Chain A
Amino acid sequence: EAGVVQSPRYKIIEKKQPVAFWCNPISGHNTLYWYLQNLGQGPELLIRYENEEAVDDSQLPKDRFSAERLKGVDSTLKIQPAELGDSAVYLCASSFRVGEQYFGPGTRLTVT
């Protein structure tokens, strides 16, 4: 069974530029999550989708971050414009059962 796929794996951009991350969850997993992980910290939830609906986006900085999950499968997370403090690893996870979340390898973003 294929795991959660994310791309790109690494991204370097200048501040004020836009950036987008893509995630393909495990087949059959209705719940999809985007997390932010800073160096030396655990992941922090940005947004959770149940199928196509964003059911928890309370931690998403909506002035610059946006996300979508069209057709309830793949998802895209966008930042526009990026700031220096956005440098981090962006993780996508998916789940079928409560609590059992499976993570992708992440996208490491560096904003210069």
Chain B
Amino acid sequence: QKEVEQDPGPLSVPEGAIVSLNCTYSNSAFQYFMWYRQYSRKGPELLMYTYSSGNKEDGRFTAQVDKSSKYISLFIRDSQPSDSATYLCAMMVEYGNKLVFGAGTILRVKS
């Protein structure tokens, strides 16, 4: 079993929909939780960064961390065709510097 599990999709939604992307993990020592967006043939781009539990909002994006369930989510409101990409979750332990990535979820927003 992988340390970080992520549904590969693809997830296809109409423009304007609310998108929910999720990851589960097994290592209870993870304290840092990130979401990256990766367009085709590009490097991953850091979207959201959360430390420990709780919610964080940035524009149309909201990241949630539930450490008791070992479950993190990224919500995208009013999705746009430009949001079509692969979304990667990543995690790291306290005082560590090694990110452990999920396999990524492919998102397609149809106009």
Contact = CB atoms under 8 A, between A and B. Distances in A.
A63 to B, nearest CB: 22
Contacts of B102: 42
B104 A42 contact: yes
B101 A100 contact: no
Interface string B81-111: 0000000101010000111011110000000
Contacts, number: 57
A28 interface: no
Interface residues of A, number: 24
B49 A99 contact: yes
A40 B103 contact: yes
A49 to B, nearest CB: 11
B92 A105 contact: no
Contact of B43 (A40, A55, A91, A95): A91
Nearest to B42: A105
Nearest to B102: A42
Interface in B29-83: 32, 34, 36, 41-46, 49, 51
A112 B86 CA distance: 27
Contact of B103 (A42, A91, A101, A102): A42
Interface string A91-111: 101010011111111101000
Contacts of B41: 105-106, 108
Interface of B: 4, 6, 8, 32, 34, 36, 41-46, 49, 51, 88, 90, 92, 97-99, 101-104
Interface of A: 4, 31, 40-45, 48, 55-56, 91, 93, 95, 98-106, 108
